[in-house]
Structure 1
Amino acid sequence: MKALNEWRITQMRVTPIAFRDPPLLNAVGIHEPYALRSIVELETNDGLVGIAETYGDEGMLKALETARELIEGFSPFDLNGMDERVKHGVKATKSAGFEMNLAPGSHGAKNAAKVMAAFEGAMLDLIGQRLGAPVCDVLGGAVRDSVPYSAYLFFKYAEHIEKPYAPDAWGEGISPEQIVAQARRMRELYGFGSIKLKGGVFDPAHEVACMAALAKAFPGVPLRLDPNANWTLETSIKHAPALNSLLEYYEDPTPTLDGMNELAKHTTLPLATNMVVTSFEELKQSVRYPGRGPVQVVLSDHHYWGGLRATQTLARICDTFGLGVSMHSNSHLAPSLIAMTHLAAAVPNLSYACDTHYPWQEEEVAAEGRVKFVNGSVTVPRTPGLGVTLDREALRTLNEQYKSCGIRTRNDTAEMKKYDPSFTGKSPRY
């Protein structure tokens, strides 16, 4: 084994993958039949391999390739040096108008933060393997043995308009009755103790009715609604009184810090966000507002905040200003979900159960198989490093699926036009 001062990253491998994704509806359209991710592997001169999962769109793949020379030959321990190299070596790119209405994972302006997060994840996996410690211990130690996640409901169609594979087992989810049935099945399968609905899709009155139906069906269960900034300020204020008695928090109903700040004057609910506070600069702007302020809960995502350590820093700042903290998610597999779990275990002030799309995904790249939920929570792995190893055959299969699916950049609006040619994706729409 190489001495620690001689330990170096000798090779980076990036494997883009595509996995089946249901026809889930959101503010800007509908999920395409396949979701894109990529698996980053960093191999060292003593044969260890650290892995991380990140975005798989064309822009992210180009950013990772640009950064190859920044990481090869580097010490896995030099996380600060890596941050500086990537910060100055990876350039922002312009995002399309459609992408700006999604979470910042699609924003070209976040390229450096996204690359830093991917490299850091694989480096922490390497460090944990070398030291014989789980990633949560490398981050300072676990304060909880398991991490709670929330049921993540979506309005959805029964099947994709183009049928590349058989319909999923969930069926249609449009009416309040169907949304309640979706929640009931998800709770029975995974044991989730809280429920979130992705809104911003239908008339707000319909979405409020769905939340009321959930509250009636699951009394006492914390509920969340996320219109993805697709409601105007006026609409958000109009529906606040009805939601005050239904929700745990009100997530990103309306765009901009100014809009959320005005809404805060008209609701008793905490306002949560992963859209108007997505960087430390935006957090600084948010806490400068007088009074209650525009945001009471920040939903981090280590993939675009700059990594696990950056999210720990975010959580400490939130604690200083009395803000709640939890985590946003996108379509992801085990390497991402387990990284979130290590991180959440090492954040003492995790205020709410984290988001996860994982129940909607059926395929996997982890040799350990599908991640198991017990009473809505994931047990924190205690094996060295991340605790995820790659199933090489599964990785090859999903890479071949990437090559054949024809999708290179996510575009939910273009996909929705196949169902409704008049759809524009304009936001806020209600």
Structure 2
Amino acid sequence: MHHDLLIIGAGPAGLSLARALRASGMRIALIEQAPREALAHPAFDGREIALTQRSAQHLRQLGIWPLLGNEHIAPLRDALVLDGGAGSRQPSMTISHTLSPKPELGFLVANNRIRQAAFEATMLPTDTSGTPPDLHCNSPVTHIHTDAQGATITLANGTTLTANLVIAADSRHSTTRRAMGIPADLHDYGRTMLVCNMTHEQPHRETAWEWFDHGQTLALLPMNPCPVSGQPRSSVVLTLPHQALLPLMELTETEFNTAITRRFAHQLGAMQLSSTRHAYPLVGVWAQRFVAERFAVVGDAAVGMHPVTAHGFNLGLRSVETLAHLLTTARQKGQSIAAPELLRRYQTRHRFTSRGLYLATHALATLYTREEAPARWLRRAMLGAGERFTPFKRAVAASLTGLH
């Protein structure tokens, strides 16, 4: 079966790209190894995604935003960066929404809600936005080949598909990228991230925290109040060496509540678990090339970010936006969507967008996981200078909103 475009991976990036191209007139197929039910009703995975204003606008244009549900969209007005133990949390730096043209820096939405809304928007029956893509679920790709004549992939169930162009959107550990011979630089930060939702006694004031404490990193992402108790609720992120984090996953709920309340130095009062707990190893990925013959990578398959700057998903949407524009323009002009020059333009533009941010995030993550005295001194000095220098904070606010 022949298509104009095959998209491997029906996560948020792959779905968003398919949605963006629905009105292009191209015949598109989505290939996903998970079953359809997992796409239509994705399970909660603990992750809350910080969306920039630019990403929110893009999701509105794609028709995904209204499907999220207002009750699942939490405003993120301000950000607070802290360094050091509870008794000496100075200096700190506050990034206020007043430094940006919007009433909030961004929004918090659960990852599974984004996935579900993207699936619904992409697979809607034929309407003015075009025809939904063909969907091949529950069967991973076992073989891929591209040459000057076209691209061919084979699925585990024996199905063979051909196309003019193949896009990989199958995670930072993309097997498709590897099969196409594209190497990637991987950095294992030696840390694991525990994520869950918790209620707490004190209000979060719609402020995100990033607290670089001694021996641990704590983050707090403000959510809407708990629909059951009405208490303030946040997504809690704790980063520790893997062997130190594992015991926390095995604590009873009561023991876990006590442990996290203590780690947050009781600043939010008593904290209560309100979701399941999930753990993820922290690995950064940079694909050395974003394109090959009749092939390109988007989302985490291109750049997998450390979450410390909360730009991973937003950067993935930028790759989708860039590539969709180039493909749509080529289609409108009757040009090949797999032309080498088009793919080179995509690579150049997304590298320009992502390289500096990736390197800066990597440097920041490395600095704030080191416990040597010089590293502690440097980060305290940086926070102190940043708090006093308003133009710097204004630039950070622009980065957080995505409006720079």
Name the TM tier (shorter chain). Answer: under 0.3
Structure 2 length normalisation: TM-score?
0.23
Structure showing greater radius of gyration is 2
Structure 1 length normalisation: TM-score?
0.22
